[in-house]
Amino acid sequence: MKTISFHGAAPEYLTGIPMAGRLIVVEGTDGVGRSTHVVNLRQWLEVSGHAVVETGWTRSKLVGRTIDKAKSGHMLSPLTYTLLYACDFADRLEKEIIPALRAGYVVLADRYIYTALARCSVRGMETEWLARLFSFAPVPDLVLYLRLDAPALARRVLLSSGIDYWEAGKDMFPQMDIYDSFVAYQSRILEQFDAMCQERSFQPVDARKPIELVQDELRSAVARLLRE
Ligand SMILES: Nc1ncnc2c1ncn2[C@@H]1O[C@H](COP(=O)(O)OP(=O)(O)OP(=O)(O)O)[C@@H](O)[C@H]1O
Ligand SMILES: [Mg+2]
């Protein structure tokens, strides 16, 4: 059994505590296919005999609804946005992620702190401050980074749910039409993810391929990790 490492100093009560589970993150821009693949990975893992817990960005009991409400008003400042994200993550870490890891579950996270680092950084929050704020986050065992260029992403999102205010980064580009704003904003987010992919050894996965092929690639990476 191993102990978890953290991005910064480990919270005191978790220092040296053994964790039998594995933390697997699926990251990527809006609409790239994360939820589709998390559902498929979960089914495959459960059929293979693993206990799985899923956790998703802004789905905490503590502030999940508050974040939805705040976003619906379009008046969220970058600082409040960042702090709400940190509260959401802290709540899920304490109540979902850590207990599941200690009990030996595979935790599948649909987005992780890297989404917050990317989104908050492009909104002008200072990189070092952000890194310190989220330093209580465990380092995942595997980060699967689904990657699709911004124009292809726009086509995919238009074909499914349509582009919303925050996905288009309209708070950053209010003067642009929604399509141009989406491409400009998502391109900036992609730059952030690409840099983190290099620095933090994410496993990049080409999300242009058909769903089945992308899923095969994800399963191979997960199977490799679970064999270790
Ligand atoms: N490889 C793929 N090729 C074509 N379409 C895809 C692919 N992967 C996902 N899709 C489709 O793209 C749409 C968005 O997928 P999904 O909801 O899984 O993305 P997401 O990353 O979870 O989005 P969100 O950011 O909104 O949570 C869905 O209609 C899905 O069927
Ligand atoms: Mg989703």
At 1 the pLDDT is 79
Indicate whether this model's pTM tops 0.85.
yes
DSSP alpha helices (H): ranges in 75-204? 78-92, 98-102, 113-122, 127-133, 150-159, 178-199
CA 118 to chain centre: 10
pLDDT tens per residue, range 133-179: 999 999 999 999 999 999 999 999 999 989 999 999 999 999 999 99
pLDDT tens per residue, range 56-89: 999 999 999 999 999 998 889 999 999 999 999 9
Which residue's alpha carbon is nearest to atom 24 within ligand 1?
A: 31
Atom of ligand 1 at shortest distance to CA of 36?
18
Atom of ligand 1 at shortest distance to CA of 214?
1
At 13 the pLDDT is 84
Binning the chain into helix, strand and coil, the percentages to the nearest 5 are: 50, 15, 35
Residue type, 130: L
Which residue's alpha carbon is nearest to atom 11 within ligand 1?
A: 33
170 three-state secondary structure: coil
How confident is residue 16, by pLDDT bands cut at 50, 70 and 90? confident
**What's the 124 CA to ligand 1 centre distance in angstroms?**
28
Is the predicted pLDDT of residue 106 greater than 90, yes or no? yes
Nearest one of 94, 136, 131, 98 to 114, comparing CA atoms: 131
Q: Which residues, chain by chain, have CB under 5 Å from ion ligand 2?
A: 35
At 12 the pLDDT is 87
Which residue's alpha carbon is nearest to atom 15 within ligand 1?
A: 33
Report the alpha-carbon distance of residue 195 to residue 90 in Å, rounded: 25
Report the alpha-carbon distance of residue 224 to residue 153 in Å, rounded: 29
Q: Quick one: fold of 2-9+17-149+202-227?
A: Rossmann fold (3.40.50)
Q: What is the mean pLDDT of residues 6-14?
A: 88
User: Which ligand sits nearest to residue 166's alpha carbon?
Assistant: 1
At 14 the pLDDT is 85
Strand 18-19 relative to strand 2-3, pairing: antiparallel
| Domains of the chain, residue spans | 2-9+17-149+202-227
At 177 the pLDDT is 96
Q: Which residues contact 51 (CB under 8 A, 6 or more apart)?
A: 103, 104, 105, 106
**What's the 50 CA to ligand 2 centre distance in angstroms?**
22
2 three-state secondary structure: strand
pLDDT tens per residue, range 185-216: 999 999 999 999 999 999 999 999 999 999 99
**What's the 9 CA to ligand 1 centre distance in angstroms?**
35
Pocket of ligand 1 (CB under 6 A): 30-36, 156, 160, 207, 209-211, 214
At 74 the pLDDT is 81
At 15 the pLDDT is 85
Which residue's alpha carbon is nearest to atom 30 within ligand 1?
A: 33
Please state, in angstroms and as integers, the Cα–Cα distance from residue 57 to each residue in 3, 4, 14, 25, following that order. 24, 21, 22, 11
Nearest one of 33, 37, 77, 30 to 58, comparing CA atoms: 30
Please answer whether residues 115 and 27 qualify as being in contact, where contact means their C-beta atoms are separated by less than 8 angstroms.
yes
Q: What is the mean pLDDT of residues 222-228?
A: 96
pLDDT tens per residue, range 29-44: 999 999 999 999 999 9
Two structure tokens written together for 157: 């999102």
Is the predicted pLDDT of residue 228 greater than 90, yes or no? no
